[in-house]
A and B are shown apart, each in its own frame.
Chain A
């Protein structure tokens, strides 16, 4: 029940409790609240949302290219 992992928060690495995300593995993006990971970010769903946004027009960069324009 006390599995923990090292999570990088935009470069700052902190220990997070992983007991609520048994499916989390090294390299995953997780959502952490008060030291507890409560969700593994679903990359496919994120891409789908971005794909929908791209259909609206201007967002033509890849997922890591966002924010470069303007």
Chain B
């Protein structure tokens, strides 16, 4: 496929790996922010091509993973109601809540549908006027335009049997949470290319300046990731801390301004709870007052519910880049994608799922 195959070219990968080896003079730790990048790194074995001492940490950029257990519980509570059709991306169904997951609710008779796009949920609302359609609006900035459009269109068309359970989060405040933690080891970031496609790169400059970290907006193919790593290494080795854009074929410096305008109509920035981090100020989206009637939390009276993270699962530490998945005693034994203890083992973007899929046979 054009613009995919050439960014997987084996000879070019070798050249890039050689360039990284030649540039590195001491150990460095780089965090790839996006779960899609984590999976690409594991799938193509990119981490194993790097010089010893050049360490990749896996960041909090998996939307399913960072959604707190409290919101999963709210989802199960709403989905169990008679008259509700609860729509979600498939990944969310197996994420454990405090008591049960959405699959349990479905098995017990809840009407839960897996959809590909929030617009599919809106279509369902049009076709089922006697039912309440709720969409689990999970995602980072990348997903915000689609979720905003579904709500915007619902209002435009006067559809009132549609609402969204919003779990929209933002990357830059999470990077600050990682960097300001006393346990932080990250010295540079591969920033998430598709998040920046929507929002642009400007929000990262103050972070690069304040914390003196290189931030390289990076794509998702092997050559993209290696080039991103190479650009980070060059900055680290020369003492620079700048925002650079490796993924120029997709990311414009100001992002997608049409999408931003749409987001700005429907959403406002609010504090949000994250799995593994707790509440981070100004780290997510909630609906603006104008669109408040589409807020499923108020519509179904679950806004006040709260719950904390529990027990054995170390996904919080994995999401903060403090521990790696295989360091968990439950990994691959008591915790598998079929029977996950936590969200990072469930999601197609979760770090634990990536290690389980690509690395569980490699480790002794």
- Tell me if chain B binds chain A: yes
Q: Which residue of A lies closest to B19 (CB)?
A: A56
Q: Which of A33, A34, A54, A63 contacts B2 (CB 8 A)?
A: A63
B197 CB within 8 Å of chain A: yes
Q: Which of A35, A45, A70 contacts B249 (CB 8 A)?
A: A45
Task: Specify which chain B residues have a CB less than 8 angstroms from the CB of A33 in the assembled complex.
Answer: 142-143, 146, 194
Task: Specify which chain B residues have a CB less than 8 angstroms from the CB of A65 in the assembled complex.
Answer: 6
Q: Is the interface of B mostly helix, strand, loop or mixed?
A: helix
Task: Specify which chain B residues have a CB less than 8 angstroms from the CB of A34 in the assembled complex.
Answer: 89, 116-118, 139, 143, 146
> Once bound together, how far apart are the Cα atoms of A61 and B15, in whole Å?
15
Task: Specify which chain A residues have a CB less than 8 angstroms from the CB of B84 in the assembled complex.
Answer: none
Q: Is the interface of A mostly helix, strand, loop or mixed?
A: loop
> Once bound together, how far apart are the Cα atoms of A21 and B16, in whole Å?
33
Interface size class of A (residues with CB under 8 A): 35 or more
Contact with B along A23-65 (1 / 0, CB 8 A): 0000001010111101101110110111001101111010111
Whether B15 contacts A53 by the Cβ 8 Å rule is yes
Whether A41 contacts B249 by the Cβ 8 Å rule is yes
Which of B6, B116, B153 has the most chain A CB atoms closer than 10 A to its own CB?
A: B6
Task: Specify which chain A residues have a CB less than 8 angstroms from the CB of B5 in the assembled complex.
Answer: 64, 66-67
Whether B145 contacts A58 by the Cβ 8 Å rule is no
Task: Specify which chain B residues have a CB less than 8 angstroms from the CB of A22 in the assembled complex.
Answer: 258
Q: Which of B14, B116, B248 contacts A48 (CB 8 A)?
A: B248
Determine how close the nearest CB of chain B comes to the CB of A32; give it in whole angstroms: 10
B12 CB within 8 Å of chain A: yes
Whether A35 contacts B117 by the Cβ 8 Å rule is yes
Enumerate chain B interface residues (CB-CB to A < 8 A): 1-12, 14-16, 19, 89, 116-120, 139, 142-143, 145-146, 149, 152-153, 156, 194, 197-198, 223, 227, 246, 248-252, 256, 258-259, 262
Enumerate chain A interface residues (CB-CB to B < 8 A): 1-2, 10, 17, 19-22, 29, 31, 33-36, 38-39, 41-43, 45-46, 48-50, 53-54, 56-59, 61, 63-67, 69-70
